[in-house]
Chains A and B, each alone.
Chain A
Amino acid sequence: MTQPSSVPCAHCGLPAPPPPADAPEDAPSFCCVGCHSVYLALHESGLDSFYQLRNTWSSDPQPAQAPEVAAELAPLLDSEAFLNEHAKTHDDGSLSARLHLEGVHCAGCVWLIERLPELMEGVLNARLDLTRGLLSLRWDPAKVRLSEIGQALARFGYRAHPLRADQRQVRNEGLGRLLTRVGISWAVAMNTMIFAIAEYAGLSALADAGLHTTMRWLSLGLSMVALVVGGSIFFRRAWASLRTAFSQKLSAGLTHLSIDVPIALGIGVGWVHSMYNTVWGQGDVWFDSLTVLIAALLSARYLQLRGNARAADAAERLYSLLPRSARLLRRADEPTSQLRERAEAILATSLRPGDLIEVRTGDVVAADGIVMLGRSEVLRALLTGESRPEKIAPGQVIEAGVTNLGALLHVEVRATAEETRVGKLLRWIEDHKSQRAPIVQLADRLGGIFVLAVLGAALVTSIIWALIEPSRAIPNAVALLVISCPCALGMATPLAMSVGAGRAARRGVHIKNDDVIEALDHLTDLIFDKTGTLTVGQPTIAAMEGDEEALSLASALESHSSHPLARALVAAVPPQAGFAPLPTSEVEEHTGRGITGRVGTQRVAVGRPDWQLPEEHPWCVRADELAARGLTPLVVMVDEEPRLLLGLGDRLRPGAGELVSRLGQRGVRVHLVSGDHPELVARVGEDLGIEPSHIRGGASPEDKVAFIKTLRDVHPDATVAMIGDGVNDAAALQAAHVGVAVYGGSEASLQAADIFLMRQGLTPVEDLLDGSKTIMRTVRRNLLGSAIYNVFGVSLAALGLVSPLVAALLMPISSLAVVASSLSQRSFEPRPPKSETTASGGASHASPSPRAPSSHARESAA
C-alpha cells in the first residue's frame, strides 16, 4: 500500500502530513496544532455541522489560529477605553459593538458564530458580515464580559480585533447617505409620475379644475423634495465646476465643464418654468420628467461610487495584515532589570521605539526591531514574497509583518507604524498612486466638449425660438437639455467597465482599477518577470553526468538546506518505502557556495563547481557549457572525489512559446526582464522567441523600474504592462501603465498591481487581453449609441419637434439601452480548453491561498 504524501487537513483542507501508520484507518489529519485544537473544540461542543457547511461559500482555506494565539486580544476587549470608544449602550443595559474577526472564510463560520447566543449565556445577538469579516455583537454586560466572548471565539480559532474607526467607516456612511437620497428620489419620482399619468390620460383644467390644480401643486411639492434631496448634489457640483472653469483661462476652462452643468441647468430651468406655470395655472409642467431624471442620475452615481468603494476596501486590506496588538514586556523608559513576569497585550499603536516586546509562535511582529532573545524561523512572505521560512537569531533585524514560526522571541522595537518597512512601502505605493498620471476616461474627454455643445445648442435654440415664437423658447430649450441625456453618456463607460470587471472576477481575474482596461486595449509592450509566469518557477534537474548513485547522498545532505536548488535535489530522490533515510552529521552550509557534511561514513560536498572542483578537471568546461545553456551547474563530491555533475534549471511553462508568438501577432512587443542570471534569462528568452534586444537579465528592482522608464521614454505612445510577483516587482508594477500580479505573488506586489490573476499559468494573461478588448468594444458601442441618440435628439429638440414630455420618455429609454448593452457584453467567457488549461486548476476554493507555501508543490505535482 502506498501512503499518500499529504492528505487534506480535517479542519481547513490545506495539505497536511498523513497520520502515523499505527493510527486508526479514519483518523483525521491536521496541518497544524491550531487546526487540531479548533477541531477538538468544535467536536466537544457538538458543532460538527460546521464541516458540512464549510464548502458552501469559501474563499481560500486558511489554517486556524491556535486558540492561545487567538485569545491574546481578549483581555484588551474589556478595557474601559475600548468599551467607551467602540461599544454602544442600549436602553435595556445591553451593549453592542462591532469587531473585526480574523479567520472567517466560509458558511460554516457564519453558522458557528451566529450560534453564539445559544452557546453562551448573555450573548444576545451575533451577526457576521462574511465578506468583510465584521461581527456585530450585542451582549448583556451583567451576564457576560466581552473578553469571555473573545475567548470563546478564540477557542474556535477566530481572532477578534477592535475595529478601526477608519476611512472605510466614513466611506460606507457616505455611500449609505447617497443610497438614502436615491431611495427618496425614486419614491418621489414614482408618485409624481402617477400624477402625471392622470394628466396624460386626459385630466385637464377643463375636465376637473380642482383636481388638476391639486395634482399640480402636489407635484410641485414632491419635486421640491426631489430637488432638495437629490438635485442639490448636481447643483453643488455644477457650481463647483463653473467656479473652477472661470478661475482658469476661459478657453481652457470651458472644455472642462462637468456633465453636471447641463444637468443642473436643465433641472433648474425646467423646474422654475414648471413652478411658474403651476402658480399661474397655465401651460405645461414637467415635474415628472425632472424627478425621474434626478433619480436615474443619482442611481448611476451611486453604482459608480459603490464600485470605487469596493476597490478602496481591497487596498485597505494590506493594513489589516499588520497586527493591531503587541505583547509588551518592558517600556522603553523602564530599567532593564525590571522585566515583567507576564507580558501584557497592548495596542500596536501605543508602542514606542525602545520598548521590548514578546513575539510568540504564530504571532505576526507588530513593529520593526532587533531580536534580543531567542532563535527562530520566521516567514517574510508579506514583505518579500519568499514563501520559505528563514532563520533568525539575536542581533538580527526583524520587520513588522513577519510571522514567527519557531520559538519565542524578544524584540526591541526600533520603528513603529508609519516608520516600519511595510508602513513605508504602503505609503510609497499610495504616493505613487496619486502621482500617477490618470488615464483620462473616454467619457471625460468627450464630456467637456459634449457639455459645451449641449449648452450652446440650448442657448441657440432658445434665442431662435424666442424670435420666432417666444412661448416655445423655454420648452424647446428644456426639452433639448433633458433629451441630451447625459446619463447615457455618463454611464456608458463606467457601467460597461464594472460589468466587465465583475465578469472577469468570476474568471479569476481581479481588476482593481477600471481605467487600466482602456490601457490594456491598446497595449504595445508586455514585460514578463521570468520566474513563476513563463516558467514553472521551480528548478528541476535537467542534466546529469557521472555516478547517479551519488544523487541519493547529495539529497540526504541537502534535506538540511532550504535553498531552492537543494529542494530540487531532495525532490529528485523520492523517499523509498522500507529504507531508512541516510544518517547525516556535521552538516554545514556555506552561503553562496554549497553545503558539506558527513553522510553515513562518507564526506559529501555539494556546491558550485568552481568551489570544489580542481581547476584542471574536465567537468569545469562541462560546467561552463551547462551555464551557457542556462542551467545552474552543481557538483557532488564524495570523499574529495568528483562523482556527479548536475545541471539544474527552471522548466518553461507549457504554452509559453505559443503565447509569445500570439502576442507578437497582436502587435504586442514582448519583453523579458528578470533578476536571474543574464545567460539563463537570455536562454529562456531565446527558447520563447523573444527578440534579444528585449531581454534583460540580472535586473535589480531599480533596473526593472529603469527599464520601464526607458521604454516609456523611447516610445512615448507605448502602453506598458508588467506581469510579475514578489515585493521586488512592486515598484515596477507601479511604474508600468498596467501592473499585473500573478497568483503566488506577495501581498505587497498584489497591492501595487492594478490587476491580480487568481489562476496560475498563462491562460489568464490571454483572457485578460481578450476580455479588455471586448469591454472596450462595449464601451465604444455605448458611446457611439448615445452619441447618435444625442445628435438626433438634440436636432429634433432644437427644431421644436420634441416636447419636454417626449424627451423625458426617451431619456430613460436611452439609459436602458446603455444598461442592456453593457450587461450583454461577452467578455471573459470561458474559452475552449487548450493544452495549458488543465494545468491551471481554476480559481476553485480548493486551491491554496496565495501565500501558502504549498502552491509551488501543488503546481509541480499537476
Chain B
Amino acid sequence: MNILYLLIPMALLLTLSSVAAFVWAVRRGQLDDLDTPALRPLLDDEPEPPRR
C-alpha cells in the first residue's frame, strides 16, 4: 500500500498539469469556435492530381 504515497502525489500532479492545460486552452480561446476547426482537415492542400 505504500506505493500509494507515491501514486497520490503523481495523480495530483497529473491533475494539476491537465488543469493548467485546460486553463491555457480556455484563455487562448480554443473553445470559443467549435465549428471552423472541423473544417480544417478538409483544407490541406492535396497533391495535384496526376495529369493524363
Contacts and interface: CB of A to CB of B under 8 A. Distances in A.
A172 B32 contact: yes
Contact of B26 (A56, A132, A180, A208): A180
A128 B32 CA distance: 12
A131 B36 contact: yes
Contact of A130 (B22, B27, B31, B39): B39
A218 B35 contact: no
A183 B35 contact: no
B40 A179 contact: no
A190 B22 CA distance: 15
A184 interface: yes
Nearest to B34: A131
A194 B43 contact: no
A847 B19 CA distance: 45
Interface in B12-52: 12, 15, 18-19, 22-23, 26-27, 29, 31-33, 35-36, 39-40, 42-43, 45
Nearest to B25: A183
A131 B33 contact: yes
Interface size range of chain B in the complex: 20 to 34
B21 to A, nearest CB: 10
A107 B43 contact: yes
A129 interface: yes
Nearest to A218: B8
A57 B43 CA distance: 12
Given A49-B45, A131-B33, A172-B32, A107 B23 contact: no
B6 interface: no
A198 B3 CA distance: 14
B12 A183 contact: no
Interface in A758-811: none
Contacts of B26: 176, 179-180, 183
Given A53-B42, A191-B12, A218-B8, A183 B22 contact: yes
A571 interface: no
Contacts of B36: 110, 128-131
B19 A194 contact: no
Nearest to A225: B19
Contact of B33 (A132, A179, A198, A218): A132
Interface string A113-137: 0100000000000001111101000
A218 B45 CA distance: 51
A110 B8 contact: no
A239 interface: no
Contact of A180 (B1, B15, B22, B40): B22
Contacts of B22: 180, 183-184, 187
A176 B29 contact: yes
A114 B40 CA distance: 10
Contacts of B12: 191, 218
A176 B42 CA distance: 28
Interface in A165-204: 172, 176, 179-180, 183-184, 187-188, 190-191, 194-195, 198
B7 to A, nearest CB: 10
Given A176-B27, A191-B15, A214-B8, A129 B32 contact: yes
A466 interface: no
Nearest to A131: B35
Contacts of B18: 187
Contacts of B8: 195, 214-215, 218
Contacts of A194: 11
A111 interface: yes
A110 B38 CA distance: 11
A191 B11 contact: yes
A373 interface: no
Contacts of B23: 180, 183-184
Nearest to B35: A131
B49 to A, nearest CB: 12
A219 to B, nearest CB: 11
Contacts of B1: 208, 211
Given A180-B26, A211-B5, 13 more contacts: A56-B39, A56-B42, A128-B36, A131-B33, A176-B26, A176-B27, A176-B29, A183-B22, A184-B19, A191-B15, A194-B11, A198-B4, A218-B12
Interface of A: 49, 53, 56-57, 107, 110-111, 114, 128-132, 134, 172, 176, 179-180, 183-184, 187-188, 190-191, 194-195, 198, 208, 211, 214-215, 218
Lowest 9 CB-CB distances: which A-B pairs, in order? A129-B33, A183-B22, A111-B43, A130-B36, A107-B39, A187-B19, A131-B35, A187-B15, A180-B26
28 contacts: A56-B39, A56-B42, A57-B39, A107-B42, A114-B43, A129-B33, A129-B36, A130-B33, A131-B35, A134-B33, A176-B26, A176-B27, A176-B31, A179-B26, A180-B22, A183-B19, A183-B22, A184-B19, A191-B12, A191-B15, A194-B11, A195-B8, A208-B1, A211-B1, A211-B5, A214-B5, A215-B8, A218-B12
Interface of B: 1, 4-5, 8, 11-12, 15, 18-19, 22-23, 26-27, 29, 31-33, 35-36, 39-40, 42-43, 45
